[in-house]
Chains A and B, each alone.
Chain A
């Protein structure tokens, strides 16, 4: 049973953790242009996270604002999918993660833009344009690396194989939610099939389906990420730039 609070928290946590991971590329991307692109995308995700977590705090009605939700929860209280917390790995892993995430977020935010909750609809309408660009950017890289050199093809295929199992968690049915994730699967599958086939990559078979993120059961990677993200706020509560 998912109320609007849990739903907004899940989406907000997905965006927040994705932003933090993408931000790790800043000053380390393969080229300056990509450095800026990844930072832009990270900031888009952070923007969506702020709107969603602020709204989640209001729905909860316990006085928690976006900062309290982002900085003062432990890993077991986070509701993000495992996909976004996985380490960046090489550039191919990062692109595979971003590709699968945006292929899910685009139909999600598009559906959200038409939902009955006005706040969620407004957030969806804003975020779907950004997601469309994230999908465009990551698709171009998946195609270029997949259909590039022998080495880039090998690494892109390895990345798709490694990340793929974590996509199943995104579509766990939840009919009570404002948008049932199960209804987004067809759109996601169509996008993924088209891009992978153009990239000369093979879509992995269904097999292992790790999950648990929505229940707060995360990989060991999340707590390290949170430690870095939260240390300043916890050491200096209320600190501002």
Chain B
């Protein structure tokens, strides 16, 4: 679901449907009742490849101690408002 133009799509939920066309309509009925969105994508669950909780250590922990990846090692010049 994209909440408004300029934002990216974010996941809002999952639902049952016999095919993509009805999935889109079901999503419209379930998730846009209060004007939550201007655009909907539907993806069959079988098309999603997800990371496994078992791989959490190998996937995500190595990033924890690599502070040099964060842009914190330079001075921000005075007067730059939007950096």
A202 cross-chain contacts in B, Cβ below 8 A: none
CB within 8 Å for A40 and B29 given contacts A33-B15, A33-B16, A33-B17:
yes
Main secondary structure of the interface of B (DSSP, over half): helix
Partner of A32, one of B16, B18, B22, B33: B16
Contact B33–A37 (Cβ < 8 Å)? no
Interface residue? A136 (CB, 8 A): yes
Q: Which residues of B contact A32 (CB under 8 A)?
A: 15-16
Contact B29 A33 (CB under 8 A): yes
How many angstroms from the CA of A31 to the CA of B17 in the assembled complex? 9
Q: What residues of chain A have their CB less than 8 Å away from a CB belonging to chain B?
A: 31-34, 36-37, 40, 136-137, 140, 144
- Taken together as a complex, chains A and B put the C-alpha atoms of A194 and B3 apart, in Å, by 35
Establish whether residues B30 and A31, one from each chain, have CB atoms under 8 Å apart when the complex forms.
no
User: How far, in angstroms, from A32 to B29 measured CA to CA in the complex?
Assistant: 11
**B30 near A137: Cβ-Cβ < 8 Å:** no
24 residue pairs bridging A and B, Cβ less than 8 Å apart: A31-B16, A32-B15, A32-B16, A33-B15, A33-B16, A33-B17, A33-B26, A33-B29, A33-B30, A34-B26, A36-B26, A36-B29, A36-B30, A36-B33, A37-B25, A37-B29, A40-B29, A40-B33, A136-B25, A137-B25, A140-B21, A140-B22, A144-B18, A144-B22
B32 to chain A, nearest CB (A): 10
Contact of A140 with B16 at beta-carbon distance under 8 Å, contacts A36-B30, A40-B33 already known: no
Within 8 A of A (CB), among B18-39: 18, 21-22, 25-26, 29-30, 33
* 7 closest A-B pairs by CB: A33-B26, A37-B29, A36-B29, A33-B15, A40-B29, A36-B30, A31-B16
Rounded to whole Å, the gap between the CB of A144 and the closest CB of chain B is 7
Among A32, A33, A136, A137, find the residue whose CB has the most chain B CB atoms closer than 10 A: A33
The answer for the CA separation of A11 and B26 in the assembled complex, in Å, is: 28
Closest chain B residue to A41 by CB distance?
B29
Residues of A within 8 A of B22 (CB): 140, 144
Additional A-B contacts beyond A140-B25, A144-B22 (12; CB < 8 A): A31-B16, A32-B16, A33-B16, A33-B29, A33-B30, A36-B26, A36-B30, A37-B26, A37-B29, A40-B29, A136-B25, A140-B22
Nearest chain-B residue to A137 (Cβ)? B25
B29 to A, closest residue via Cβ: A37
Cβ distance A13 to chain B, nearest Cβ, rounded Å: 26
- Which chain A residue lies CB-closest to B19? A144
CB nearest to A37 among chain B residues: B29
CB distance from B25 to the nearest CB of A (A): 6
A34 surroundings in chain B (CB, below 8 A): 26
A33 to B14, CA, bound (A): 11
